[in-house]
Amino acid sequence: MEILPSSGDIQLQTETLASQLKQDSVVEDISAGRGVINFKVNRRLLAEKLLEPFGKGGGDTFGLDSELFNSLKRGTTLVEYSSPNIAKKFHAGHLRSTIIGNFIANLKQSLGNDVIRMNYLGDWGMQFGLLGAGFGQFGCVEKLKENPLQHLFEVYVRVNKEAEHNEDTKQAARDFFRQLEQHESQAVSLWQQFREITVKEYRHIYERLGVHFDVYSGESFHQDQAQEVVRQLQSRGLLKTSEKGTGVVDLSPDGDMSSVCTLLRSDGTTLYITRDIAAAIDRKEKYCFDEMIYVTDKSQEHHFSQLFQILLSMGHSWSDGCRHVSFGLVQGMKTRIGEVVFLEDVLDEARARMLHNMSQSNTTKKLENPEDTAEKVGVSALIVQDFKGPLQSDYKFDWDRILQAQGDTGVFLQYTHARLCSLMQRNEGMEAATFHPSLLLEQTSIIILQHLLRYDEVLYQSAQDLQPKHLVNFLLKLCHLIASAHRELPVKGSPQDVAQARLRLFSGACSVLANGMRILGIIPVNKM
Ligand code: ARG
């Protein structure tokens, strides 16, 4: 504001200002245009400095030591994501939570935080009453071992139907759940078996997605603590009894009960939110997190805002470090068999479709394990489609669109990465320890270098709003630039020093692409 007066001849001011600015070794020329000032960066220096780390195999941390991150607080971040419910459907919302949470955890970790990855299973509630009551009738131990998720779901669906018209079943379910709540050993042991077998199966399937968790917690862990929360609220005078006999907390700004949150049913049992309060307090004690991030669809926004508010009212000021990252709904995620019920179905479908596309394409290479490649590429297609726009948006799922090789898809990212890997491999041993940055001054090279230079900004932006779209769009753009570079900067047939310099550029682009893909939760393939 001090250098530029708000009125006067703008052109004159531009020229005066331009003449006052001094060039140096980085900015080699400063000139005035019509109302703009042009800064010309020393291209040789740009190429040299930017590509330096890639010569010494230091490309993995490229951009991460940027000064931009100095202002970011680092500490322990707990990210809770995926969180499916035992014996129930794993729906598209759980899939979104899984990949978004994984991205956030990867990003936080890359930026130097200690990250705890947590899965909070829906492992408590009336569905276990029904399951427990129905297992004797409809369950089969063999099937449970063979395909636990499917079998528990089947039993659950059947016993649910039965309970609709059969009072005895309903009563049996209530009895079983009460036994569970009272920790009766037989009921608990059956429940435990269901839970263990489910976790084991999930672990396995998440691995196919490239996702893992440090902790499999769940609602069941906080049963007793939830009662303790109720007692605390009572003693602080925060729990009121409603006309219906339920226990509620008044969250209205004027204290007139115009907005309340129910924490206790009239029969004295706790609810989803009561367990969440207990879980949050327990996690704070156990993990001393600096921030905690919950990832679920936007239908739970109200739930989390109530949760944070109640924690604050209980005196837990750390609640300010809790955040809910919400996302929109996905319509039409179907497989050949029909609606998606299990995570495995989505993965199988992505793999099968990608395998088919690969067999149709004449650029497909001979692969050791085509299924594995198809799965990785299929999953990246899912992820990119999901991450391209703002997380809050709803979208329609379409297999054909997401699996296109051209256009802005995960397949395109993988294809570009594989092509770069094959270029490196063909020229192995050619890369020089020192290279000549002055051989990279064409526009095509410079645009790539300038783009790579912005990698830290993009990570910074993603860290601010926890939206993956910045990184996805950065990588897609990078792939388009690399495609031009393959045409315009050939390695084969160029003089050795030119070839070496270009290889260095391609190797830098390849590292950044791979690093970015990994943060998104995509496992780059070297060949496809
Ligand atoms: N199991 C829940 C569901 O499927 C999601 C849990 C989200 N996390 C939480 N702490 N409430 O809707």
Tell me the pLDDT tens digit for each residue of 253-290: 998 999 999 999 998 889 999 999 999 999 999 999 99
Residue 495's domain comprises 343-520
Which pLDDT score is estimated for 1? 42
Quick check: is 371 in a domain? yes
297 lines ligand 1 (CB under 6 A): no
Q: Which pLDDT does position 430 carry in this prediction?
A: 83
Which among 40, 89, 91, 366 is annotated as catalytic?
A: 91
The pLDDT of residue 3: 59
Query: To test the ligand 1 pocket, which listed residue (83, 117, 276, 319) has its Cβ within 8 A of the most ligand atoms?
Result: 83
Residue 169 covered by a domain: no
Decide: 211 and 82 in contact? Cβ < 8 Å.
Answer: yes
Q: What is the mean pLDDT of residues 453-471?
A: 97
- Cα(83) to ligand 1 centroid in Å equals 6
pLDDT of residue 222: 96
Q: Is the pLDDT of residue 74 over 60?
A: yes
Strand partners, 41: 27
Residue 433 predicted with pLDDT over 80: no
Q: Specify the ligand 1 atom closest to the Cα of 303.
A: 11
pLDDT at 348: 94
Q: Average of pLDDT values for 429-436?
A: 82
**Confidence band of 57 (pLDDT split at 50, 70, 90):** confident
Answer with the residue of higher pLDDT: 456 or 125: 456
Start-to-end C-alpha separation, the chain = 54
What span, in angstroms and rounded, lies between the C-alpha atoms of 12 and 20? 12
List b or e across 168-179, with b for residues whose CB sees 16 or more CB atoms inside 10 angstroms.
Answer: ebbebbeebbeb
Whether residue 283 contacts residue 289, with contact meaning beta carbons closer than 8 Å, is answered with yes
- Say if 384 falls within a structural domain: yes
Sign of CA dihedral 331, 332, 334, 338: positive
Q: Give which of 353, 373, 463, 478 is closest to 418, Cα–Cα.
A: 373
Residue 66 lies in a domain: no
Annotated active-site residue 91? The verdict is yes
pLDDT confidence bin for 500, thresholds 50/70/90: very high
One DSSP character per residue, 338-394 reads: EE--SHHHHHHHHHHHHHHHHHH-TTPPP-S-HHHHHHHHHHHHHHHHHHSS-TT--
Written as six digits, the tokens of 293 are 């991030």
Q: Which of 215, 217, 296 to mutate to test the pocket of ligand 1 (most atoms within 8 A of CB)?
A: 296
- Give the number of other CB atoms < 10 A from CB of residue 436: 15
pLDDT confidence band for 5 (50 / 70 / 90)? low
Convert the pLDDT of each residue in 336-392 to its tens digit. 877 788 999 999 999 999 999 999 998 888 999 999 999 999 999 999 999 999 999
pTM over 0.85: yes
Residue 273 lies in a domain: no
- Over residues 404-425, the mean pLDDT reads 95
Q: Which of 127-136, 160-169, 427-436 has the lowest mean pLDDT?
A: 427-436
78's enclosing H/E stretch is strand 76-80
Question: What mean pLDDT comes out for the span 404-432?
Answer: 93
Atom index in ligand 1 nearest the CA of residue 121 equals 1
Neighbours of 271 (CB within 10 A): 17
pLDDT in the model for residue 4? 59
- The count of domains in the chain is 1
Q: What is the pLDDT of residues 300-332, one digit of tens each?
A: 999 999 999 999 999 999 999 999 999 999 998
Does residue 388 lie within any of the structural domains? Answer: yes
Q: Which residues of 406-416 are buried (b: 16+ CB within 10 A; e: fewer)?
A: eebbbbbbbbb
Per the CB < 8 A criterion, the answer to whether 357 and 377 are in contact is no
What is the pLDDT at residue 332?
A: 85
Q: Between the CA of residue 160 and those of 84, 124, 153, 486, what are the distances in Å?
A: 19, 16, 10, 59
Distance, CA of 63 to CA of 287 (rounded, Å): 29
| Candidate list 49, 56, 73, 88, residue with the active-site label | 88
Cα 297 → chain centroid? 13
User: Which tokens go with 88?
Assistant: 């129930």
* Phi, psi (deg, nearest 5) at residue 489: -125, 65
- b/e per residue, 211-228, with b = 16+ CB within 10 A? bebebbbbbbbbbebbbe
Q: Distance between CA 431 and CA 269 in Å, rounded?
A: 68
Kindly state the percentage of the chain with pLDDT values over 70.
Answer: 99
Spatial neighbors of 477 by CB under 8 A, at least 6 apart, are: 451
User: Per the domain annotation, does 487 fall within a domain?
Assistant: yes
Residue in the block written with tokens 């085509």: 370
Neighbours of 525 (CB within 10 A): 20
Mean pLDDT value across the chain: 94
Long-range contacts formed by 36-39: CB under 8 A, 24+ apart: none
| 138 pLDDT above the threshold of 90 | yes
For the question of residue 324 being annotated catalytic, the response is: no
Query: 94, 151, 324, 451: which one is catalytic?
Result: 94
- Is residue 276 lining ligand 1, measured as CB closer than 6 Å? yes
Residue with tokens 């672990």: 203
Percentage of the chain lying above the pLDDT 90 cut: 88
Residue 432 pLDDT exceeds 80: no
Report yes or no on 23 lying in a domain.
Answer: no
Is the pLDDT reported for residue 2 higher than 60?
no
Contact between residue 373 and residue 398 where contact means Cβ atoms under 8 Å apart: no
Q: What is the dihedral of CA 130, 135, 139, 143, to 10 degrees?
A: 90
SS3 31: strand
Going by alpha carbons, the residue nearest to atom 4 of ligand 1 is 84
C-alpha of residue 239 to centroid of ligand 1, in Å: 24
Residue 102 has pLDDT above 70, yes or no: yes
- For residue 289, what are its two tokens? 């997190």
Q: How far is the CA of 144 from the centre of ligand 1 (A)?
A: 24
For ligand 1, say whether the CB of 344 is within 6 Å of any of its atoms: no
Nearest CA to ligand 1 atom 6: 83
pLDDT higher than threshold 90 for residue 7: no
The residue-averaged pLDDT of 220-235 equals 95
Question: Does 191 score more than 50 pLDDT?
Answer: yes
DSSP tag of 19: H
- For residue 272, the ligand 1 atom closest to its alpha carbon is 11
Our answer on whether the CB atom of 83 is closer than 6 Å to any ligand 1 atom is: yes
Here the CATH number for the domain that contains residue 422 is 1.10.730.10
Name the pairing type of β-strands 27-32 and 114-121.
unpaired
